[in-house]
Amino acid sequence: MFSAENSGLFRSLVATMEFRRPNLVAGEANAYMSRRIAYPPINKEDPDRCKWRTSNIAQANAQREKLQDLRECKMAGTNANDKDIAGALMTKGDFTKVTFKNGIMTKVVAQDSNFEGADFTNAVADRVEFKNSNFKGAIFKNALLTSSDFEGVNVENADFTDAFLDIQSVKILCSNPTMKGKNPVTGADTYLSAGCDIADAGSYTSR
């Protein structure tokens, strides 16, 4: 689905997305990411609510016939590889060591969640609300992460090798005090994997 072999195509995609995204200055990024939406109450009586589902949707707008509500779900260690969960609500969930390889997570709302040790290799996770979530030891190799909100996250020991990051995300991540350590699985240096040692402008692709 999304691999190093077709990275040229996704570089073009990133460039297109960055062209359409409004220029934001400090303080405006939060307003851009925030959506004043009143979500429905969590239906904790639904026995099938905390399960991975996938469906063909209009990815550009993350439109789905039925809301995928994974808020407060405890799904540690589960497999979400190749799943299309675009637009899902994942706030305050436990997704420790979940594998999201090749998955589609466009416009997911996942703030205040635990993704420690999760694997997002080759995932499409653009325009995601990750604010204040835990990504300690997570892997984002070759993942598309443009326009996602990483404010206040814990990324100690995370691996961003070959991830697609816009310049605003790079600035936020590289100024994060947890941007340190080495990934326990890949051995990648967290700070270097996100290209924090390289000054760049515009759309950015880390090594």
Nearest to 112 by CA among 98, 128, 133: 133
Task: Give the number of domains in the chain.
Answer: 1
Residue at 49 is within a domain: no
10 Å CB burial of residue 82 (0-12, 13-18, 19+) is middle
Residue at 29 is within a domain: no
Highest averaged pLDDT of the listed ranges 12-21, 32-41, 122-131, 198-207: 122-131
Residue at 41 is within a domain: no
Residue at 84 is within a domain: yes
Nearest to 205 by CA among 158, 154, 144, 153: 144
Segments forming the whole domain that contains residue 152 = 1-22+71-207
Rounded Cα gap, residues 166 and 146, in angstroms: 5
Which residues are within 8 A (CB) of 30 and not within 5 positions of it... i.e. 6 or more apart?
149, 151
Rounded Cα gap, residues 9 and 202, in angstroms: 18
Does 166 or 37 have the greater pLDDT score? 166
Q: Are 121 and 143 in contact (CB under 8 A)?
A: yes
State the sign of the Cα–Cα–Cα–Cα dihedral 161, 55, 92, 106: positive
Residues 136-187 have pLDDT tens digits of 999 999 999 999 999 999 999 999 999 999 999 999 999 999 999 999 999 9
